[in-house]
Amino acid sequence: MKEYATLSLETHLFFGRIMKEHSLFLLAGFPAKETEFIRRADQFRKEFEEGLRRAVKLADGIVSKPVLNSGEIVTEFTRKAECQTKNLTGIPIDGKITEAEERLCAGNCGMVNREIACQVRRLNQQMLRSLDGLISFKEEILSEVTRCRLYTTNYPLLIEHILREAKLYRQMILELEQQGRITSPDLRNLEIFWNQIMMEHAQFIRGLLDPTECELMETAGGFAEDYCRLLEEAREQDRKVMDALTARTLQTTRQYQQFKSAGTKGITGCGIRSIILPLLADHVLREANHYLRILDQAQKGME
């Protein structure tokens, strides 16, 4: 019961916010004529915002210190990025959730009782229903875009990208509901998934920077190439000899995290020319922080 509640809440604190922001990015990317797509995207934004709000209320004193300290839930830039994005797009963002997340305290799981576990179960069911709807919505958007029947400022690859993340989130919550825990994926498959995510982040960043930002575009392109190589090697690597590749992936991701952190600071400080929403910059930084925690844990397990 303790593991079930803790892992569920930690998963929602990270992925629930990610899904809320995916919905916002989709919403912001539709032209004004697409009123039905706008309405549906906004509905999913509201659903995941409410789910995240509930997760935060339950998480205090339960979630682990490594997760709270990782920067995957909020960063030093999140509040400012949300405020700027709200002002730039006119899309509502509840900043009180972020403030509550900043105040979260870690616990030893001793506080988990049957009532809390029941509340977590209800939250998991709510999030699964919202995820089923959001996954179908993303698939519909991708189909319409690739058939040239819908315009959006979001790349088709970005829609595929956020669809994969939603499916991973759904798989994790289903495992928690069916088994009470999350099956640890083997390191090879874990790195394949997240190296692809990191590679695509670099490709998106490069494509959303102003053409005058030559140095940043070159750096982003370099990271895209680095992760492409790591991805290819992970696919070819024997699962039993992943140690050296994981160490290289960890080193690359630490450097990439620093690049993303500097980029988020530059975008929220209006020091970088781009069409990157401030919250998108913070969003990809949090995903790098999440991956770093996973890689750190994996490496410690090898020692």
Instruction: Inform me whether the pLDDT recorded for 185 exceeds 80.
Output: no
Residue 240: what pLDDT? 61
C-alpha angle with apex 115: 110 to 119, nearest 5 degrees? 105
Residue 182: what pLDDT? 83
Residue 110: what pLDDT? 56
Residue 131: what pLDDT? 98
Cβ contact 262:77 at 8 Å = no
Instruction: Inform me whether the pLDDT recorded for 241 exceeds 90.
Output: no
Instruction: Inform me whether the pLDDT recorded for 299 exceeds 80.
Output: no
Q: Which two tokens stand for residue 82?
A: 């949300």
Query: Would you tell me the crossing angle of helices 156-179 and 17-29 to the nearest 10 degrees?
Result: 150
Question: pLDDT class for 237, splitting at 50, 70, 90?
Answer: confident
Residue 88: what pLDDT? 98
Number of H helices, E strands in the chain: 12, 0
Distances (CA, A) of 65 to 10, 61, 100, 123: 11, 10, 16, 22
Residues of the chain with CATH 1.20.1260.120: 1-183, 185-303
Spatial distance between the Cα atoms of 142 and 167, rounded to a whole number of angstroms: 15
**Burial track 202-235 (b if 16+ CB lie within 10 A, e otherwise):** bbbbbebbeeebeebbebbeebbebbeebbebbe
- The CATH number of 1-183 is which of 1.10.1740.10, 1.10.10.10, 3.20.20.70, 1.20.1260.120? 1.20.1260.120
Residue with tokens 């490594």: 66
Q: What is the pTM of this model?
A: 0.95
User: Span 257-267, mean pLDDT?
Assistant: 98
Question: pLDDT class for 303, splitting at 50, 70, 90?
Answer: low
Give 193-237 as a DSSP string.
HHHHHHHHHHHHHHHHB-TT-HHHHHHHHHHHHHHHHHHHHHHHS
Per DSSP, helices labelled H in the chain are 2-11, 17-29, 35-59, 65-69, 78-89, 95-102, 114-146, 156-179, 187-208, 214-236, 243-268, 278-302
Between 187 and 58, the more confident residue is 58
Q: Tell me the pLDDT of the chain averaged across its residues.
A: 94
Spatial distance between the Cα atoms of 195 and 170, rounded to a whole number of angstroms: 20
Instruction: Inform me whether the pLDDT recorded for 271 exceeds 70.
Output: yes
Contacts of residue 116, Cβ cutoff 8 Å, sequence gap at least 6 = 5, 58, 62
Instruction: Inform me whether the pLDDT recorded for 65 exceeds 60.
Output: yes
Q: pLDDT of 146-183, one tens digit each?
A: 999 999 999 999 999 999 999 999 999 999 999 888 87
Instruction: Inform me whether the pLDDT recorded for 239 exceeds 70.
Output: no
User: Span 51-79, mean pLDDT?
Assistant: 96
Cβ contact 20:130 at 8 Å = no
Instruction: Inform me whether the pLDDT recorded for 7 exceeds 80.
Output: yes
* Bridge partner residues of 206 (DSSP): none
3-state secondary structure of 274: strand
Per cent of the chain over pLDDT 70 is: 96
Per cent of the chain over pLDDT 90 is: 86
Q: pLDDT of 94-127, one tens digit each?
A: 999 999 999 999 986 557 888 999 999 999 999 9
Contacts of residue 144, Cβ cutoff 8 Å, sequence gap at least 6 = 150
How many CB atoms lie under 10 A from the CB of residue 239? Answer: 10
Question: pLDDT class for 297, splitting at 50, 70, 90?
Answer: confident
Spatial distance between the Cα atoms of 233 and 227, rounded to a whole number of angstroms: 10
User: Span 5-34, mean pLDDT?
Assistant: 97
User: Span 282-289, mean pLDDT?
Assistant: 98
- The CATH number of 185-303 is which of 2.102.10.10, 1.20.1260.120, 3.40.50.10860, 1.10.150.120? 1.20.1260.120
Q: What is the DSSP letter of 71?
A: T
User: Span 196-220, mean pLDDT?
Assistant: 98
